Amino acid sequence: MATQTRLIRFAWENDVGFKMDTKLDDGDWITIVQMDENGHIGSLWPSTQTICETYVKEQVSLIGSEMRA
C-alpha cells in the first residue's frame, strides 16, 4: 500500500474569520468549514468547533481502520 498524507490546516485572524481546510496527498485543498467573524462568534463558535472535532476524529478513525486491515 502506498503512503498517504492527510493535511489539515487551520487559519484564523481575530475580528476577521476562521477556516479549516484539508487535502489528501497532492490533491486540492478542500474547505471543511469557514466563517466570518461578524459579531456573533459566541453563538457560532460551538457549532464550528464541533464540525472541526468531528472531522478530525473521523479521519483518525479511518486511518486506524485502514492500518488494521
Is pLDDT larger for residue 26 or for residue 40?
26
pTM of the model as a whole: 0.87
One-letter amino acid at 5 equals T
Binning pLDDT at 50, 70 and 90, where does residue 38 land?
confident
Binning pLDDT at 50, 70 and 90, where does residue 1 land?
low
Phi, psi values for residue 41, rounded to 5°? -60, -35
